[in-house]
Amino acid sequence: MHREIRFAHLSDWHATTLAGGGLDRFRGKRISGWASWALNRRRHHDPAILDAAIRDVHAQSVDRILVTGDLTHISLPQEFRVAAGQLARLGSPEEVFLIPGNHDCYVRTDPENAWDHWAPYLRGAASSSLPSPLAPLASPSPEDGRAPTYADYPTLRIHDRLAIIGLCSSIPTPIFVAGGELGAQQLERLEALLSATGDAGYFRVLMIHHPIAAGTEPARRALWDGEALCGVLARTGAELVLHGHKHRRRLRTVPGPRADVPIVGVPSTSEVGSKPDKQAQYHVYTVREEAGGAFTLGAEIRGYDAAQGAFVPVSESLFG
Ligand SMILES: [Fe+2]
């Protein structure tokens, strides 16, 4: 009998308000982020569309929900609290696996006022819950109740034959810069994780906020060590890489050792559609394990239909 695993990919919902929030809104880099929200971004993201997406995800019978960050605008404490409620409505920490985006790391903050609000959604599996060959590769377990820090990434969760690896490319950057970086330590641990999960025959899904292919982004918005990440993928492969950040659907591939690695960017979950290719969407993947341990991958696009106030199937093929 064939086994099927279904999972959804959502990203960049930015469905918080910066109205109120005290003087912190007007300090340092947050001033430009607040101005951008007040003049522009607040008209692009609608919490009601996120609510419609959450209802729709619940109707899709998915096993897991993967979220590639940017739930906030300028990393205010009030935004982390609101987004924690949105995550709770989306699913349990066991079902939902989250990585932070650059807006969730907009300025340096105390973890208690930031990622700790999302701790159970951000954490990878504890080493004690992983199969023995993978246990030594688990990310360090933060103290109870704390979120992973940048130094704790990559995170790893296993669901059935799925190995889901979370990367953190989000670091505080200067004003008008939205790039990201993994760093040598994270890349080294990622290579070990991809090798071990590949050798063990898992379907490997990599989550990263930034697009990874070199030359697809201006330098100020790019993943600065994307070439090094592509080098890791060329040696280890991966079955699927998921990212956000662009608020647009993107499909690219990079070479792996045996097959090209598909890299898929998903639009925002809450975008009202200021441009046709930016209207809210999310993706649902189905991984089938065939006899002999091979996998096949299917994908569906679900997009927001303003007339119905609901997400509906989009009759385009994600993989062309
Ligand atoms: Fe982003």
Q: 116-136, pLDDT tens digit by residue? A: 999 999 999 988 889 888 998
Residue 133 lies in a domain: yes
Give 209 Cα–ligand 1 centroid separation in angstroms.
7
Count the domains in the chain: 1
Q: How far is CA 63 from the centre of its chain?
A: 16
Band (pLDDT 50/70/90 cuts) for residue 173 is confident
Decide if 319 is inside a domain.
Answer: no
Task: Identify which of 271, 269, 294 has the alpha carbon closest to the alpha carbon of residue 284.
Answer: 269
- Say if residue 214's pLDDT is above 80: no
Question: pLDDT for 76-105, tens place per residue?
Answer: 999 999 999 999 999 999 999 999 999 999
pLDDT band, residue 205 (cuts 50/70/90): very high
The CATH number of the domain holding residue 299 is 3.60.21.10
Question: CA-to-CA distance for 97 and 9, rounded, in angstroms?
Answer: 10
Residue 57 lies in a domain: yes
**What average pLDDT does range 259-278 have in this prediction?**
93
Using DSSP, state whether 86 is helix, strand or coil: helix
How many angstroms is it from 244 CA to the middle of ligand 1?
7
268, part of any domain: yes
Mention every residue, 6+ apart, whose C-beta is less than 8 A from residue 174. 29
276 vs 59: CA distance, rounded Å:
25
What is the pLDDT, as a whole number, of residue 154? Answer: 97
- 201: in domain: yes
Mean pLDDT of 251-264: 96
**Ligand 1 mean position to 200 CA, how many Å?**
32
Structural domain of 51: 3-314
Q: 320 in a domain, yes or no?
A: no
Residue whose C-alpha is closest to residue 200's, from 189, 212, 210, 192: 192
73 CA from centroid of ligand 1 (Å)? 9
Distance 75 CA to ligand 1 centre (A): 12
- What's the pLDDT tens digit per position in 2-39? 689 999 999 999 999 888 767 776 778 888 888 888 88
Tell me the whole-structure pTM to 2 decimals. 0.96
Tell me whether residue 179 is in a domain: yes
136: in domain: yes
So what's the pLDDT on residue 105? 93
